[in-house]
Amino acid sequence: MHTIRYMNSLPIIRNASIKFFPHENTNELDANLYLAQRKRYAYSAEFNAIYRSTNYFGPGVIFSYTDRNRNKAAEMFKINLRGRVEVQIVDGEIKPAYELGLEVNYALPRLYPGFLFNADKKNLLKTNISAGYNLFNRLDLYRLNSIYTNFGYRWSKKDRISHSFNPVEIVFTKIPEDSQSDEFKKYLEENPGVQRSFDEQFIVGLGYEYTFQSKPSRSNEFFFRGGIDMAGNLLNGLYSATNASKDSLGRYTLLGVPYSQYLRPRVDLTYNFKLNQQSKLVTRFSAGVGLPIGNSDVIPYIKQFYVGGTNSLRSFIARSVGPGSEIPPEGYNDLTGDIRLEGNLEYRFDVYGNLKGALFMDAGNIWLTKEDPSRPDGTFHFNTFVKQIAISSGWGLRWDFSFIVARLDFAYTLRTPYLPAGERWTTDIKFWNPAINIAIGYPF
């Protein structure tokens, strides 16, 4: 019922239920609504450990303050202070990193400002405002600073369908020059396109996302997520209309910093074929493309795509493949691109109790949308992209306790796109030397 869904979505409500009673001497029913309330204020410290799809792992902590009934209107105000120390192990070499962040979030159980909207009350409406600062320091390469703010709406008329629209998304990123290692500087000098993606820049745009989940059934299930991000278009129109001045490279600037302009559509589809009560075949297709336009000739690094890691090509370390058939530079493991295509196939079956097994295959890669002289084999072409697909396969174990899933996957490389033609398919699979992936949750 809509009333129950709405009340349970409020942060101050722990649980809501309805009981019906006959109305005296009538054929009508009285409805009594029972509510269990949460504490208004909460202070928490959460200690955790994480294993990212980028193969970084380590302990972290989050300190939070929450007001679940701000202005006595079920509005939620929350402050998060987080920190994390991580390491990535590549070929026996330890690469340390740490992350620090501060975020302030304000959520309202309605669309704001209300006078602009005449929304259907049967939708679960939310307005979310957030701002924060994040520091990610890869001690062996660079230190990335980012400041961001978002203003957006969420609504869902049915449990299976949800919408998200952010009319305001602003991000400012900067990598201080004194934080860049000699190795990283050398790579940027050799790859001007990559260097421009890391340049100090503003992202001012908007985004929309649609999610659909089919009804649970005894046969098959379908999940779809699609969205698009757009940035810089309004600014570019205003500057063009007012004949604003450009910098030495022919770009418009905001507060002296070039702003990014791009389109970035993406889709993610998952289909589950239930073979019987003990097994199912799960398929996924994921695609995305970033198109720099107008004021930009490359999309920002934080908006680019990558493959590899615990939820992607599982025999490859995250960001270690692509673009195209480009040979990865020695000592640099942060490869991204403008286009991403990936398909996954996984057969899941019961083993014993909570223990599940899986056989899987992953295929995909990333590419560039424009020619780059420093990466000539990285551009997407319809007549060559199939030959540049990377393929992984393997098997895994999952401990599924309903509330949490612990996953252990063993993956083997079947096809490496950057090897010479004729040598890309693996002919000698070493069963006792797999890439090991440890993660929480299913990969898709």
Hey, where are the domains in the chain? 1-38, 305-444
Q: What pairs with residue 357 in β-bridges?
A: 349, 397
Pull the structure tokens for residue 20.
């019906």
**Cα–Cα nearest to 287, from 370, 213, 364, 222:** 364
**pLDDT level of residue 88 (50, 70, 90 thresholds):** low
- Distance CA(289)–CA(131), nearest Å, equals 27
Which tens digit of pLDDT belongs to each residue from 145-154? Answer: 999 999 999 9
**pLDDT level of residue 387 (50, 70, 90 thresholds):** very high
- As a whole number of Å, the CA-based R_g of the chain is 25
Mean pLDDT of 59-87: 91
Pull the structure tokens for residue 171.
């991000």
Is the pLDDT at 187 greater than 80? The verdict is yes
- Distance CA(308)–CA(311), nearest Å, equals 7
- Distance CA(224)–CA(216), nearest Å, equals 14
Mean pLDDT of 352-378: 94
Which tens digit of pLDDT belongs to each residue from 260-304? Answer: 999 999 999 999 999 888 999 999 999 999 999 988 888 998 899
For residues 382 and 363, is the Cβ–Cβ distance under 8 A? no
Average pLDDT of the residues of the chain: 88
Which tens digit of pLDDT belongs to each residue from 195-254? Answer: 878 877 889 999 999 999 988 777 789 999 999 999 999 998 999 898 888 888 888 888
For domain 305-444, the question of CATH label 3.30.540.10 is answered with: no
Highest mean pLDDT among 86-95, 179-188, 257-266: 257-266
Residue type, 300: P
Highest mean pLDDT among 324-333, 385-394, 401-410: 385-394
pLDDT value of position 319: 87
For residues 58 and 49, is the Cβ–Cβ distance under 8 A? yes
Residue 32, C-beta contacts closer than 8 angstroms, at least 6 positions apart: 18, 19, 20, 21
For residues 388 and 344, is the Cβ–Cβ distance under 8 A? no
| Alpha carbon distances (Å) from 399 to 9, 111, 199, 236, 330 | 30, 41, 43, 51, 37
Cis peptide before 113 (omega within 30 of 0): yes
| Of residues 36 and 334, more confidently modeled | 36
- Distance CA(99)–CA(103), nearest Å, equals 13
Mean pLDDT of 35-63: 81
Mean pLDDT of 34-62: 80
Mean pLDDT of 63-72: 93
